[in-house]
Structure 1
Amino acid sequence: MNKILLFMIGMLLFLTGCWDRIEIEDRGFVIGVAIDLPENESVEQHTSQEEANKPRGQARFLATYQFVNPAALSGGTNQGGGSGEPVFNLTTEGDTIMEINRSLATRTSRSPYLGHTKVVIISEEIAQSKHFANVMDFLLRYQEFRRSTQLMIAKEKARKIIEIKPDLEKLPVMYIQSVGQNNYRSARMVAPTEIGDVHHDLLAGSSYVIQRIVGSDKEVKVAGSAVFHGKDNAFIGWLGEEETEGLNFVKGELEAGMLKVQVEDNLIGYEIKGATRDITVDTSNIDNLKFTIDIKSEGNIPESLETLSWDRIDVLANVQEKVEEEVVRITEDAIHKLHGDFKTDAIGLGQYLSKNEPKLWEKIKDDWEEGKGYFGKSSITVNAEVEIRNTGVIIKSEPVQD
């Protein structure tokens, strides 16, 4: 009998439930976060000596959380007498992001929950400062954030982006996320960058890029990219839209897109249906590693502003050559910015050496982007091969005759 009693008491210890459980109806679901520096820079005047004596960070942050209003989405009414909008934003300032997160609980009846956050937008000011590493530390460390949460860098205030009011979408953050996932249609944006991707690059010491976003009152544009150094998480600079397109080509991460190419006296459109890259390297001189990147692409011609006879082999060959020249031009522009100006290997050549030349990589990895700067000393040659699969449903484009 005593053994049974002890067994029952022991089982009760394991059936106490979740001590920190919050009922779902009491949660405030945050779907987006925007992080800025305060307007008055980093130090806010305290209203009391007690506040002034509290521990402080080196900067203050301004964070805007976008909450979902389930009642408005379901067509119900707010018991609290709210406006009935499907989302509402709360903005708070604090010395740390976690302090901001906790202080929001004093302003809303529902405890903020970040487990469903879709997008975190970080301002250019934060990215350019040493505090970007602190923000990333919180995003990686805090258990509520999922590794699939998407990151974007705003070419302005992040708060301005998250406060847009799109005409056709109820949830601004979901609209922003959807635009950021259109890289399969546009070559001028990099693939969506997730928190887990940045963590992987930081552990590997690999430089990386994050999508750039700009916005107006009702819409956003995701194009171009922000470049970060993998060793210290420092912002290096921006790649423009065309340079980002070139980067996608040399990284072999281009899914689709459109190139406009000059042929004779007018333009034709080349619709990219796929692209691959192959890297080879001459390691005979460690102080001048010679990389060759061979790009292969295939696509269609959906538009031709130049009068051409597409059924002629020489015409098709000439257009393919012009497209190849354009691919080489935009990739060389991207390489010039990353290799020549930034000295930052967001191309992934170090990763290639790590996989294919491990002994050499062990010897030079600490001096790849820094120290002796083997990346900056290397040379990179790009070749392109284009195949046009389809020229459309007509084989000849001519002016209409009266």
Structure 2
Amino acid sequence: MESVSKSWDRWLPLVFLPFLLTGCWDRVEIEDRGFTIGAAIDLEENLGNEEDKNEQHVYQGTYQLVVPGGLGQGTGQGGGQETAYQNLTSVSDSLFEQIRDLAKETSRTPFFAHLEMIIVSEDVAKVPGAFSNIMDLFLRDHEMRRGVKVLISKGNAGDVLKVEPKPENLPVMFLDSIIENAVKNPQMLQEVRIGTVHEYLASNNSFVIPKIEMNGEKVDSEGAAVIHGHNDTMVDFINGKTTEGLNFIKGDYKGGLVKAKIDEDLVVYEIKNAKRTVEVNTDDKNKIKFHIMIQTEGTIGESFKRLDYTKPENIEKVQNAMENEIKKTAETSVEKLRDDLKVDALGLSGYVQRKNYALWKKICDDWDHGDNYFSKSEIAIEVNAIIRAPGSIIQIEK
């Protein structure tokens, strides 16, 4: 019996070894993957009658797939070169069905684990509940990642994926590079990822999403779309100047410039660092008071006014001028969002909640809806601009 036991000890691993060496039954080779990197969702206008569309909305999805053979051949302009991407469209009231239908148009299995960007048209975003419905698939599916960037297009979203991508190979990569330039242009909104959108939707807070627009053959990425947290519906676009003020107020200002006139001559202040603090007074729920302090540090990037910056009074003069310009920009955002749209995309509700939670529980359902306590609030802006270096001086005015 002992010899039989030893024999089994030797042969048992060999019996089970084949099971460990077998491959995955559902494996797909990498060269057979249809890597989908971009999705654009538009409202289909040509299907169904008006009564049907009021009950069930039909969407057109445009999906950008990578064509590996064209990646090293440029953008396919002339010479029979193969493009590095393929845009496929599908129409359905279900995005899941659209994605399944893609398999009928391409030899490669659509694969969304490398999705980089979702573009939703303003027509879709303005339909009550449609934006959150669109996000549902991309948040729910196991292939999707929470780092996918979300944009709202002014006009047709599918057209944005057709942009000439020079010097990139892929339109989505070209658009992604433009979005990253928000660190240099404060009139652009910082990228918003679907994981962050999920948090906004779950908390019913209002928020903003970067805007994208085709202006002829060029891309315009200034401004943002305002989404109302009450019904997850887009209210309106805000322009670049309002977006810049919003970035100041929310503490998302990464760098940029401010121009001011000093005795009718232009001086440019390059902001290297910006931060803000917010204080709130909740003594009167019908007039909640916010005090927003914005502090910036920077240098003189350009000056047509010949000043002696070694004199403190000249430094102070320029700083005061820049503070006035920054304050006006921030107040423009307050006026647009509080007085015009009446939507708290400034993110001030969180300060009320932390300051006075008992009060917040009473007014949260009417913060920027119903009684709209946000629109009744007072928002005071204070700015402190610091010049760290005036730069080289060509000539001092006598």
- TM-score normalized by the length of structure 1: 0.87
User: C-alpha separation between the residues in 2 aligned to 1:259 and 1:334?
Assistant: 16
| RMSD of aligned alpha carbons | 2.9
Q: What's the counterpart of residue 387 of structure 2?
A: 388
User: C-alpha separation between the residues in 1 aligned to 2:282 and 2:21?
Assistant: 63
Contact 1:164 1:216 in 2 (8 A): no
- Secondary structure at 2:205 match in 1: coil
1-10 or 92-101, larger mean C-alpha shift: 1-10
Q: What's the counterpart of residue 179 of structure 1?
A: 178
| 1:133 Cα offset (Å) | 2.5
User: C-alpha separation between the residues in 1 aligned to 2:336 and 2:355?
Assistant: 25
Q: How many residues align?
A: 384
| 1:6 Cα offset (Å) | 11
Alpha-carbon displacement from aligned partner over 1:24-58 (angstroms, at most 9, x marks no partner): 11110011111112252x528xxxxxxx9xxx971
How do 1:48-67 residues align onto structure 2 when only pairs under 5 Å count? 58-67=56-65
| 1:16 Cα offset (Å) | 7.0
Q: What's the counterpart of residue 43 of structure 1?
A: 48
User: C-alpha separation between the residues in 2 aligned to 1:308 and 1:189?
Assistant: 32
- Secondary structure at 2:87 match in 1: strand
| 1:299 Cα offset (Å) | 1.0
User: C-alpha separation between the residues in 1 aligned to 2:284 and 2:20?
Assistant: 64
Alpha-carbon displacement from aligned partner over 1:181-233 (angstroms, at most 9, x marks no partner): 11211111111011001001112221110001122465422110001012321
User: C-alpha separation between the residues in 1 aligned to 2:250 and 2:238?
Assistant: 14
Q: What's the counterpart of residue 35 of structure 2?
A: 29
> Would the alpha carbon gap of residues 310 and 234 (structure 1) be closer, same or farther in structure 2, given more than 3 Å must change?
same
5-14 or 335-344, larger mean C-alpha shift: 5-14
| 1:390 Cα offset (Å) | 1.5
User: C-alpha separation between the residues in 2 aligned to 1:174 and 1:108?
Assistant: 21
> Would the alpha carbon gap of residues 366 and 308 (structure 1) be closer, same or farther in structure 2, given more than 3 Å must change?
same
| 1:9 Cα offset (Å) | 9.4
Contact 2:230 2:369 in 1 (8 A): no
| 1:367 Cα offset (Å) | 2.1
How do 1:55-134 residues align onto structure 2 when only pairs under 5 Å count? 58-74=56-72, 84-130=82-128, 131-134=130-133
| 1:369 Cα offset (Å) | 1.6
Contact 2:211 2:225 in 1 (8 A): yes
How do 1:288-367 residues align onto structure 2 when only pairs under 5 Å count? 288-367=287-366
> Would the alpha carbon gap of residues 260 and 253 (structure 1) be closer, same or farther in structure 2, given more than 3 Å must change?
same
Contact 1:167 1:218 in 2 (8 A): no
| 1:301 Cα offset (Å) | 1.2
Q: What's the counterpart of residue 246 of structure 1?
A: 245
Query: Where does structure 1 lack aligned partners over 5 or more consecutive residues?
Result: 45-51, 77-81
User: C-alpha separation between the residues in 1 aligned to 2:360 and 2:26?
Assistant: 48
Amino acid at match of 2:325: E
Alpha-carbon displacement from aligned partner over 1:67-109 (angstroms, at most 9, x marks no partner): 1111222569xxxxx9521112112222211111111100100
> Would the alpha carbon gap of residues 16 and 337 (structure 1) be closer, same or farther in structure 2, given more than 3 Å must change?
farther
User: C-alpha separation between the residues in 1 aligned to 2:25 and 2:373?
Assistant: 54
Q: What's the counterpart of residue 209 of structure 1?
A: 208
| 1:117 Cα offset (Å) | 1.0
Q: What's the counterpart of residue 77 of structure 2?
A: none
| 1:59 Cα offset (Å) | 1.5
- Secondary structure at 2:370 match in 1: coil
> Would the alpha carbon gap of residues 98 and 15 (structure 1) be closer, same or farther in structure 2, given more than 3 Å must change?
farther
- Secondary structure at 1:223 match in 2: coil
> Would the alpha carbon gap of residues 261 and 343 (structure 1) be closer, same or farther in structure 2, given more than 3 Å must change?
same
Once the two structures are aligned, what percentage of the paired residues are identical? 38
Contact 2:182 2:190 in 1 (8 A): yes
Contact 2:188 2:223 in 1 (8 A): yes
- Secondary structure at 1:193 match in 2: coil
Query: Where does structure 2 lack aligned partners over 5 or more consecutive residues?
Result: 75-79
- Secondary structure at 1:293 match in 2: strand
207-216 or 82-91, larger mean C-alpha shift: 82-91
Contact 1:165 1:217 in 2 (8 A): no
> Would the alpha carbon gap of residues 300 and 57 (structure 1) be closer, same or farther in structure 2, given more than 3 Å must change?
same
59-68 or 11-20, larger mean C-alpha shift: 11-20
- Secondary structure at 1:203 match in 2: helix
- Secondary structure at 2:221 match in 1: strand
User: C-alpha separation between the residues in 1 aligned to 2:15 and 2:156?
Assistant: 57
- TM-score normalized by the length of structure 2: 0.88
Contact 1:311 1:395 in 2 (8 A): no
